[in-house]
Copies of this chain bind each other. A is one copy, B any other.
Amino acid sequence: MSDATVTQRTEDDALALQPIELSMQGALNLALRDALASDDRVLVFGEDVGVLGGVFRVTDGLQADFGADRVFDTPLAEAGIIGLGIGLAMAGWRPVAEIQFDGFVFPAYDQLVSQAARIRTRTRGAFDMPLTVRVPSFGGIRAPELHGESLETYFMHVPGLKVVTPSTPHDAYHLLRASIASPDPVIFMEPKSRYWNRGVVDRSRPDAIGARLVRPGKHVTLICWGSMVARCEQVAELAAEDGIEVEVLDLRWLTPLDEDAIARSVEHTRRAVIVHEAPLTAGPGAEIAALISSRCFRSLKAPVERVTGFDVPTPAGDLEDEFIPNIDRIMFGLQRVLEFRA
């Protein structure tokens, strides 16, 4: 290779790595594109991800650019999709499967829990399981039943699965790249309601480890992830008007939990509110609340609050706003912990 070529290449790369403004959908598409380009063992498949480019267009154009062997549609069967991914991984590929909507993870659940999550253990490490499962997740888009579920618990409780969800385009890019690079199965939950929100993606600044401190504050910690982060930032903004300094922590990884980041923040603020869309009981907030209550036992000034979906089947569009934590409910949660007197 001549020097000129190298220089050219480097300049292209540098150019390519300029920060760009993208929607989260665009960032995810770019991450898949870069993964496919940089590692020819990466495969992308699922229902309608090929020709159509996915119902949310996250895989738009990938089949055209990388061919129908690497980006392809499967028949309509979720267990088949995950089982296929497991076998592909065993054959040395790096599969990125899509389950079209959160609610349709369940037909594949056996393959995730009893198979994908256990291959490493079952084979005593003879096989890696670099399977990424992209799942458009959470509510907020007025979709039909089972198109707006929040499945954190269903994944967090499974030993052998990693679980992650981005809240910004930048994080979406880097977390998806990290998930695909992972030698372990990762459930990548994409917050549907944030697909079209834009932000700057800087590919030269990878950032995919642990939680992200979104906003520092000293009176109370708001713990959130995925679809709820933007709302929690709004709440923090509003609270600031009343002189309340809310620290907002975006967990990003639900497995493994960044316990140190959580504890550090709550040791500092001594109060915590957890916000999630999933139902309350045995929800993701249960583990986090239990953890804080234990690790910050001495410093905690009020019981940890959980502002969450209710213990009801996630309702239809018209009632969605009654179910998903809204600003009022989060505010009430803050108030409860701030006003609590032991």
Chain A contact residues, CB within 8 Å of chain B: 79, 103, 106-107, 109-110, 113-114, 117-118, 121-122, 145-146, 153-154, 156-157, 159-160, 255, 257, 278-279, 281-287, 289-290, 293-295, 297-298, 302-304, 306, 310-313, 340, 342
CB distance from A305 to the nearest CB of B (A): 8
Closest residue of chain B to A289 (Cβ to Cβ) is: B290
A212 to chain B, nearest CB (A): 21
Measured in the bound complex, the distance between the Cα atoms of B160 and A311 in whole Å is 8
A291 CA to B285 CA in the complex, in Å?
Answer: 11
Q: List 13 A-B contacts (CB under 8 A).
A: A79-B107, A109-B110, A114-B146, A153-B153, A156-B281, A157-B278, A159-B279, A160-B313, A255-B281, A282-B282, A290-B306, A293-B293, A293-B294
Query: What residue of chain B has the Cβ atom nearest to residue A301's Cβ?
Result: B297
Compute how far the CA of A159 lies from the CA of B157 in the bound complex, rounded to whole angstroms: 17
Pair B311/A159 contact, Cβ less than 8 Å: yes
Copies in the complex: 2
- Measured between C-beta atoms, what is the minimum distance from A302 to chain B in Å? 7
Cα A269 to Cα B109 with chains together (Å): 40
Q: Which residue of B lies closest to A107 (CB)?
A: B110
Q: Find out whether the CB atom of A290 lies under 8 angstroms from the CB atom of B304.
A: yes
Starting from the known contacts A109-B110, A257-B281, A290-B304, 14 additional A-B residue pairs (CB-CB under 8 Å) come to: A106-B109, A114-B146, A121-B312, A153-B157, A154-B154, A157-B278, A157-B282, A159-B311, A255-B281, A282-B287, A286-B289, A286-B290, A289-B289, A293-B294
Q: Please give the distance in Å from A104's CB to the nearest CB on chain B.
A: 8
What separation, in Å, do the CA atoms of A79 and B145 have in the docked complex? 20
Chain B residue at minimum C-beta to C-beta distance from A295: B303
A312 to B103, CA, bound (A): 26
Contact yes or no, B121 A313, CB < 8 A? yes
Nearest first, the 4 closest Cβ-Cβ pairs linking A and B are A293-B293, A106-B110, A289-B290, A294-B303
Bound together, the chains give a CA A278 to CA B302 distance in angstroms of: 29
